[in-house]
Amino acid sequence: MLTNTYQNVNGTGGELLLGVMGDPIAQSKSPAMHTAALRALNISGAYVPLHIAPERLGDAVQAIRTLGFRGVNVTIPHKVAVMPYLDRLDASALSVGAVNTIVNDKGVLTGYNTDGIGYVRSLKAEAAPDISGARIVVLGAGGAARGIVTALLQERPERIFIANRTPDKAEELAEACRNGGNVSGIAMDDIGEAVAAADIVINTTSVGMYPHPDGLPLDPALLKPGQIISDLIYNPLYTRLLTEAQELGCRIHGGLGMFVYQGAYALEYWTGLTAPVETMRRTVVESLG
C-alpha cells in the first residue's frame, strides 16, 4: 500500500512527480532505480524518462514548474546547458560547473550536483572509510574528473595527481582546483612514480566501458598490492582494470555505487527521507542483467 503522499508543488495533487531529462534517455537505469526506491518508501508517485532534444531544453525546464514536478535528474548532454534556465545554483553545481539534479520548491528551481558527493559516499562506504591524508591519482580530466576531484578535496587528502592523455587539460583542472588542496596535473606518460606512491587510483575516463571492455586506462604493471583501484564505469560492473588489479592483490571499487548514491542524494533532496540504497543497488544490478 502506498502511504507517503505528497502535495505536488502546484498543490494540485498527491503524487510525487520526478524524472530524468537526457538525449538519448532510453538506456538510463534511473527510472528503474527510482521507481523501486519510491515503492520501497511507500511513496505514491512516478519517476519517468524524459527525452528532451537540446533545442527544447528551456521549454522542458519551464514544464517542470508548469506540470508540478518536484524535481528531475539531468543527464548527457544537458548537464551544463541547463544551468542558465535555473533560478538558483547550489555550491555543488557552481564548483563543478554542471547540474545533475533539480529541486522544485514552489516554482523556484535549484540546481545541485550529486555526482561527486555520490562517488565519495560510495568510495567511503565500500572501500576507503577514511580518505583524509590519502595520496590519490585521478585518471582523466573531463567533467566526471572535475566533480570527483572537487568532492575528494572536501575529505582533505594529502595530494591528488590528475593524469590525462591531453596533459594541458590535466594542468587546467589542477589549476582550477588548487585552492581546495594539493592538486597537480601530469601527463599520462609520466604517471609511474605517482601511481607507485598512491593509496587510491581512480579511473574517470571512458576507457574500458561497454562496448569496448578490452580497454585499459593504465598499465596494470604499475599497480601495487594493497592499493585501492576505483573505476567510475559500471557497465561492465567489473572492468578489465578492476579484474587485473584484483589479480595483483589490489582492493577494487566499481562505479555502480557512485550511480546509486548520486541518485540517493537526489531522492533525499526531493523527499527529505533516507534513500533505500540497497533496493536501488539491487534494482540496477538486475536491470544490467
List residues with catalytic annotation. 79
Rule CB under 6 A: is residue 228 a binding residue for ligand ATR?
A: no
Q: Which of 140, 185, 257, 263 binds ligand ATR (CB under 6 A)?
A: 140
Q: Is 205 in the site for ligand ATR (CB under 6 A)?
A: yes
Least distance to ligand ATR, CB of residue 163, Å? 9
Question: Does 262 help bind ligand ATR (rule: CB under 6 A)?
Answer: no
Closest CB to ligand ATR among 16 and 170? 170
Query: In this complex, which beta carbon is closest to ligand ATR, that of residue 104 or of residue 150?
Result: 150
Cell numbers describing residue 170: 590535466
Measure the CA dihedral 276/278/279/281, to 10°.
Answer: 120
**Cell 562505479 identifies what position?**
255
**Which of 86, 162 has the CB closer to ligand ATR?**
162
Nearer to ligand ATR, 169 or 224 (CB): 169
Q: Which one among 30, 113, 204, 227 touches ligand ATR, defined by CB under 6 A?
A: 204
Query: What is the footprint of ligand ATR within residues 15-54 (CB under 6 A)?
Result: none
Q: Taken in order 33, 37, 40, 43, is the CA torsion positive or negative? A: negative
The residue with its CB nearest to ligand ATR is 142
For residues 121 and 118, what is the distance between their CA atoms, to the nearest angstrom? 5
CA distances from 219 to 98, 242, 251, 272 (A): 31, 12, 16, 44
Number of residues in contact with ligand ATR, rule: CB under 6 A?
14
Q: What are the residues whose beta carbons fall under 8 Å from the beta carbon of 69, sequence distance 6 or more?
A: 8, 9, 17, 18, 19, 63, 104
Q: Mask 163-202, x = binds ligand ATR (CB under 6 A)?
A: -xxx--x---------------------------------
* Residue among 13, 77, 97, 142 that touches ligand ATR (CB under 6 A): 142
With a CB cutoff of 8 Å and minimum separation 6, the contacts of 213 are: 236, 239, 240
Q: How many CA atoms lie within 13 A of 111 on its CB side?
A: 23
